[in-house]
Amino acid sequence: MSLINICRDNHDPFYRYKMPPIQAKIEGRGNGIKTNVLNAVEVARALNRPTAYVIKFFGFELGAQTAMNENQERYLINGVHDANKLQDVLDGFISKFVLCPSCKNPETSLNVTRDGHLKKDCKACGKVTEVDPRLKLVTYILKNPPKSSQKGSKKKQAATASANVVGGGKSISDIASEQKSDGSPGASGAGFTAEAVAGSRLANTEAPPSQKVEVKDDEWAVDMSEEAIEARARELNAMTLKDETEKYEEFGEWILSQDELPSDVAIFKKAQDMDIVNDRKTIEVLAQCLLDEEVLEEIDQHKGMFSKVLTTPKHEKSFLGGIERMIGTEHMDLVPQIPRILMQLYQNDLVSEEVIREWGTHVTKKYVPKDVSKKVRKAAKPFLVWLDEADEDEEENEDDGEDEE
């Protein structure tokens, strides 16, 4: 297969940075349909990035759950995504996480700094730039840093330790060499004694008065101001939210990675084991993993489990949000079916009339872009009109009954 330019905006036929085009295969059917990225490893290797970063980026950008089995080199994305669509999304990954923003060269490496920032280091022009921390993939990379970054840190620590074995930045071998050049009996190592090393260490222990650093007591104090306490609380809360998000990703990946869709009982038990069965995010994951283009049949198929987890109005709102995300990111062709979907939910007592009304009259960008949310709400309007007419008929029947009395 012919290779393509890593930077597809560069049409130079002699451009030397190449990669294989993405190969995708659709597997399964119904609510178990998935896209298998067949050559994910080769593509990631050409970009000099971990395969998991590429697949996770696809998941974040497409709003789809992903599943990865590195041993079998099997990388799945929930839903139907053709190779051309994935290639376009990959261009975004290359622009944000591979190409140098200064010289557009892909010879870059990702490094995590000590203060928790992700830097892109260009080996061609030497430019070091920070990757936008607002990108969802940045959070994943910070929790799963590239191995090159970890190795580099260890090497640096090892070099520092070696340089500081003996005071003055000299290694033991350096001192031994100096003793030999002074004519000391060190040719065979006999003159290189522990006393000599200790003496050298002690001689360099205390710095000259002019180089002594005075540390004030207040420099060791913890800032207990109200602003500092709130800042630490926000940081701790952010770390907790990241850990919780990983739970739901793991839950979704478990559902999608099975050869066959797990039974409702198995899914419910898995959520119980992970202690997330009552969480709103769990509802969103279930909507995206279990519902697809045959959504009307699938609601009936899983209504037993849905009724168990949809226990509060907030859960019902999350369920509608998950369905909206599934439609808005993967199946826009289902938009005309939204009135029928709402009717199915309403008749099965999965979502109440009040929740449907509130959801249908409030545009939000929480689950999909705002313009998509508007299209979804517009499509839902016929069902809301039907609800109003049903309420009017009910009131008329009640009035007729009172008149007869």
- Tens-digit pLDDT profile for residues 293-342: 889 999 999 999 999 999 999 999 999 999 999 998 888 999 999 999 99
Specify which of 155-164, 182-191, 225-234, 384-393 reaches the highest per-range mean pLDDT.
384-393
What pLDDT score was predicted for residue 21? 94
Ramachandran class of 122: left when φ > 0, alpha when ψ lies in -120 to 50, beta otherwise: beta
Q: 63 with 329: CB under 8 angstroms?
A: yes
Give the three-class secondary structure for 176.
helix
Q: What is the largest CA-CA distance in the chain?
A: 125
**Token pair of 113 as six digits:** 């700094």
The residue behind tokens 């909507």 is: 287
Q: 398 with 390: CB under 8 angstroms?
A: no
Statement: residue 385 has pLDDT above 80:
yes
**Token pair of 64 as six digits:** 């789809």
The residue behind tokens 């489990």 is: 305
What pLDDT score was predicted for residue 199? 47
Which one is the CATH code of 4-150: 3.30.30.170, 3.30.390.30, 1.10.10.10, 3.10.129.10?
3.30.30.170
- Mean pLDDT across 16-24: 92
Distance linking the first and last C-alpha atoms of the chain: 83
Statement: residue 155 has pLDDT above 60:
no
Report how far residue 19's alpha carbon sits from residue 332's, in angstroms, rounded to the nearest whole number. 31
According to CATH, the topology of domain 249-404 is 1.25.40
Report how far residue 231's alpha carbon sits from residue 124's, in angstroms, rounded to the nearest whole number. 39
Instruction: Return mean pLDDT, the chain.
Output: 79
Give the three-class secondary structure for 185.
coil
Sequence ranges of the domains in the chain: 4-150, 249-404
Give the three-class secondary structure for 30.
helix
Per-residue pLDDT band for 403 (boundaries 50, 70, 90) equals low
Task: Please tell me the least confidently modeled range out of 138-152, 277-291, 351-365.
Answer: 138-152
Q: 31 with 294: CB under 8 angstroms?
A: yes
Ramachandran class of 280: left when φ > 0, alpha when ψ lies in -120 to 50, beta otherwise: alpha
- Name the pTM for this structure: 0.48
